[in-house]
Structure 1
Amino acid sequence: MDSEVLVAGETLVDFIPDAPGPLAGVESFSRRPGGAPANVAVGLARLDRTPWFCSAVATDPFGEFLASTLDEEGIPDRFVVRDPDRQTALAFVSHGTDADREFTFYRSDTADVHLDTSVVDDATLESVEVVAVGGVSLSVEPARSATFDLVERARARGCLVLFDPNYRPELWHDDPGPVIRRMLARTDVLKVSDEDLSGPGLPSDPSGLLDAVDDAVFLTEGGAGARLLADDGSPWGAGEWRHGGFRVDDVVDTTGAGDAFTAGIIAGLVDGDAPEDLLAFANAVAAASTTSRGAVTALPDRDAVARIRER
Structure 2
Amino acid sequence: MDILKRDATGFLIMGRAGMDLYADPPGAQIETATAFTAALGGSSANIAAGLCRQGLRAALVTCVSDDAIGQFCRTQLAAYGIEDQFVRSVGGDARNSLAVVETRVQDTQSVIYRNGAADFEMTEEDVCALPYSAFQAMVTTGTVLAAEPSRSAAITAFGKAKAAGVPIVFDIDYRPYTWTSAEEAEQVYSHAATFCDIIVGNDEEFGFMAGAYDRGLSKARALAVDTAKIVVYKMGEKGAITITRDGEVHTGIFKTQALKPTGAGDAFMAGFLGGLASGLPVSGAVERGSAAAAIVVSRVGCAPAMPTADELAQFLSTNALQT
Fold equivalence (TM over 0.5): yes
What do the CA deviations read for 1:29-77 (whole angstroms, capped 9, x no partner)?
A: 3222111100111111111111221111223221111111100111112
Q: 1:171 to 1:25 in 2, by over 3 A?
A: farther
- The residue aligned with 1:6 is 12
Matches of 1:123 and 1:54, distance apart in 2 = 9
1:64 maps to 2:89? no
- The residue aligned with 2:99 is 91
Quick one: which amino acid aligns to residue 301 of structure 1? T
Matches of 1:230 and 1:84, distance apart in 2 = 44
Matches of 1:216 and 1:29, distance apart in 2 = 39
Alpha carbons 2:127, 2:153 under 8 Å: kept: no
- The residue aligned with 2:149 is 142
Match of 2:221 among 206, 210, 221: 210
- The residue aligned with 1:131 is 138
Match of 1:82 among 72, 79, 89: 89
- The residue aligned with 1:185 is 194
Quick one: which amino acid aligns to residue 55 of structure 1? T
Superposed, 1:224-303 pairs within 5 Å as: 224-231=238-245, 238-249=246-257, 251-303=258-310
- Residue 275 of structure 1, CA deviation: 2.5
Matches of 2:173 and 2:64, distance apart in 1 = 20
Q: 1:36 to 1:123 in 2, by over 3 A?
A: closer
Matches of 2:28 and 2:185, distance apart in 1 = 29
What do the CA deviations read for 1:97-144 (whole angstroms, capped 9, x no partner)?
A: 44x745322222221111245344557112322111111111111111
Q: Helix, strand or coil: the match of 1:141?
A: coil
- The residue aligned with 1:235 is none
Matches of 2:275 and 2:129, distance apart in 1 = 25
Greater alpha carbon shift after TM alignment, 17-26 vs 144-153: 17-26
Q: How many residue pairs align between the two structures?
A: 302
Matches of 2:298 and 2:45, distance apart in 1 = 19
Matches of 2:154 and 2:111, distance apart in 1 = 23
Q: 1:128 to 1:117 in 2, by over 3 A?
A: farther
Quick one: which amino acid aligns to residue 273 of structure 2? I
Matches of 1:202 and 1:186, distance apart in 2 = 20
1:221 maps to 2:235? yes
What do the CA deviations read for 1:247-269 (whole angstroms, capped 9, x no partner)?
A: 112x1123221111101121222
Matches of 2:15 and 2:76, distance apart in 1 = 16
Q: 1:150 to 1:25 in 2, by over 3 A?
A: same
Q: Name structure 1 gaps, 5 residues minimum.
A: 232-237
Q: Helix, strand or coil: the match of 2:131?
A: helix
Q: TM-score, normalised by structure 1?
A: 0.88
Matches of 2:55 and 2:141, distance apart in 1 = 22
Greater alpha carbon shift after TM alignment, 257-266 vs 124-133: 124-133
Matches of 1:292 and 1:173, distance apart in 2 = 34
Alpha carbons 2:203, 2:217 under 8 Å: kept: no
Q: Name structure 2 gaps, 5 residues minimum.
A: 1-7, 319-323
What do the CA deviations read for 1:137-183 (whole angstroms, capped 9, x no partner)?
A: 11111111111111111112211111111111111124211111111
Q: Helix, strand or coil: the match of 2:298?
A: coil
- Residue 280 of structure 1, CA deviation: 1.5
Quick one: which amino acid aligns to residue 242 of structure 2? L
Moved over 6 A (4+): none
- The residue aligned with 2:321 is none
Match of 2:57 among 46, 50, 62: 50
Alpha carbons 1:165, 1:192 under 8 Å: kept: yes
Greater alpha carbon shift after TM alignment, 156-165 vs 24-33: 24-33
Quick one: which amino acid aligns to residue 211 of structure 1? A
- The residue aligned with 2:37 is 30
Same amino acid, percent of matched pairs: 27
Superposed, 1:132-171 pairs within 5 Å as: 132-171=139-178
- Residue 300 of structure 1, CA deviation: 0.9
- Superposed CA RMSD: 2.3
Quick one: which amino acid aligns to residue 245 of structure 1? I
Quick one: which amino acid aligns to residue 83 of structure 1? V
- Residue 310 of structure 1, CA deviation: 2.3
- The residue aligned with 1:16 is 22
Q: 1:209 to 1:102 in 2, by over 3 A?
A: farther
